[in-house]
Structure 1
């Protein structure tokens, strides 16, 4: 039996999450992710991590939240919308960057909101110990989100939500507060294989499994070497990240524009032509992408990506 206090604390948390701009909030019990251990091991064994060797580290911590936060009782999964009010992917005179990278780096924006949420939670329920995470530690965020019922893992391995598709960031609180766990939802992908069929590099070999070493996002961001020649004429103008498997997903017809000013694109991202991208200097790159996720690929990486695509034109 759940105590009245646990029920009340769960209600307070979910109300605060909504007040701070999170679209969904789900709760899981902090325990070892038994079902994920074998899947993660197999994925790594196949070499799908490519050169992302950091994914081989902290295997136990990825599966056991109490190793990240001793005494943890709950994993709280949250969704924060980033679907842009308008985007330039219909333009044929420009290159494409993933929609999540249009504005300010989400690590900072969403983490600030999480900290404010925890601050307000403490005011309401007393001292809470734990950590906040936004795609920045060995946390199996999609597994926890699925477990908490805020969506299911689609065939493209992204979390899908019936009300808003997949254009959102996932964030977590791992805390020592006892909360009422939510039940998982069902998988609503059915027989649809739109994402698998549309991927130009065949990076989705089976349902829910992405071969990271073939994914355009990996090739344009994580890979530090030259892009292998086998991907010529397959990049579809993506110079940072890729949204193809999201663009074709039927659930994304339910995406609604965010109202987060920090995620709005600057003038360069909104209006630059291919030529302006090609002529971009390091100074312009540093200015345009000063607080952007695109910084991650560095000026040299972005130029490499542009040159690789230019050869195909």
Structure 2
């Protein structure tokens, strides 16, 4: 006979599939013992650069029961963003995740609907949705729930679909059936380490965030360091190099989320177009995009830095 935990788990996984998520895994909420010393070491070495927010809420990052009272389960979800088309070859580059609408809003809406279905079908369940917006170690939870393994580039990787997807969570006070971590499949491969233009992957599984092109082009508010001149490989917002070279990403399949389809200018613009971009065009092209975070001044700073 099917028990409630099994029934609820099946309901949640079926609903996540209906909402378009690539996969869903569930872990028992609790303290992340293995991650605690790693996070502490990373912060102590200042590998978070000027991302001061990473120093906040240390305990909450490691323990979801401090984020959701009486939390029992962490539901991890993946949403594919791999595009069917890429930018013009004569262009400054934008990370693939930012081609379409801002993923925070797209995923938050899906998570709200998932939680609403849980509450309608199961009853009084308290929970919170997290999309890269609170102190949650999303990759650790996704790996713990069997959705993939954390690769040498510190991204979550799956054998069937690579790593071009977003990770999000619902933390709920409902007991469910729990999944198990999967095995690692990076082997002796060092493609990501060898290809990183700024040598930000300082050891297998350790990324010095303060050396990463994504950090420089998005997070850093100061002037870009001159010693990095010529090392950005034309990336003006984010960087996909360590994912592009990963052998597992040959299995990436294009997403089917209409809101992630890019504005035509994102694909067709040449370097000259980007160099001449106006405030009006910026607002039009990136109206609902994650690129808005840099504002036009930040994008222009990055483009100026890339000009030969």
Shorter-chain TM band: over 0.9
Counterparts of 1:145 and 1:119 in 2: how far apart (Å)?
22
1:124 aligns with one of 102, 116, 121: 121
> Partner residue of 2:18?
19
> Partner residue of 1:246?
243
> Partner residue of 1:305?
302
> Partner residue of 1:256?
253
> Partner residue of 1:115?
112
> Partner residue of 1:217?
214
Counterparts of 1:97 and 1:290 in 2: how far apart (Å)?
15
Counterparts of 1:110 and 1:166 in 2: how far apart (Å)?
17
SS at 1:275's partner residue?
A: helix
> Partner residue of 2:92?
95
- The CA deviation at 1:93 is 1.5
- The CA deviation at 1:121 is 1.8
- The CA deviation at 1:230 is 0.9
Q: Kindly report which structure 2 residues correspond to 1:174-189, keeping only aligned pairs within 5 A, or say none.
A: 174-189=171-186
SS at 1:87's partner residue?
A: coil
SS at 1:174's partner residue?
A: strand
> Partner residue of 1:104?
101
SS at 1:219's partner residue?
A: helix
- The CA deviation at 1:124 is 1.7
SS at 2:202's partner residue?
A: coil
Counterparts of 1:305 and 1:289 in 2: how far apart (Å)?
16
The answer to whether 1:68 aligns with 2:67 is yes
- The CA deviation at 1:3 is 8.1
SS at 2:206's partner residue?
A: coil
2:277 aligns with one of 277, 280, 286: 280
- The CA deviation at 1:281 is 1.1
Counterparts of 1:308 and 1:156 in 2: how far apart (Å)?
25
2:144 aligns with one of 141, 147, 170: 147
> Partner residue of 1:227?
224
Q: Kindly report which structure 2 residues correspond to 1:157-168, keeping only aligned pairs within 5 A, or say none.
A: 157-168=154-165
SS at 1:205's partner residue?
A: strand
Moved over 6 A (4+): none
8 A contact 2:71–2:171 mirrored in 1: yes
- Report the TM-score, using the length of structure 2 for normalisation: 0.98
5+ unaligned residues in a row in structure 2: which ranges?
none
Counterparts of 1:207 and 1:63 in 2: how far apart (Å)?
22
Counterparts of 2:128 and 2:69 in 1: how far apart (Å)?
10
**CA deviations over 1:255-296 (Å, ceiling 9, x no partner):** 000011110110210111111100111121122112100001
- Report the TM-score, using the length of structure 1 for normalisation: 0.97
Q: Kindly report which structure 2 residues correspond to 1:199-218, keeping only aligned pairs within 5 A, or say none.
A: 199-218=196-215
The answer to whether 1:33 aligns with 2:32 is yes
Counterparts of 2:41 and 2:89 in 1: how far apart (Å)?
40
5+ unaligned residues in a row in structure 1: which ranges?
none
Counterparts of 2:166 and 2:139 in 1: how far apart (Å)?
10
> Partner residue of 2:45?
46
Counterparts of 1:25 and 1:267 in 2: how far apart (Å)?
32
Q: Relative to structure 2, which stretch is displaced further, 98-107 or 262-271?
A: 262-271
**CA deviations over 1:170-209 (Å, ceiling 9, x no partner):** 0100001101111100111011000000001000011111
- The CA deviation at 1:118 is 1.2
**CA deviations over 1:65-95 (Å, ceiling 9, x no partner):** 011001110001000000001112xx43211
SS at 1:17's partner residue?
A: helix
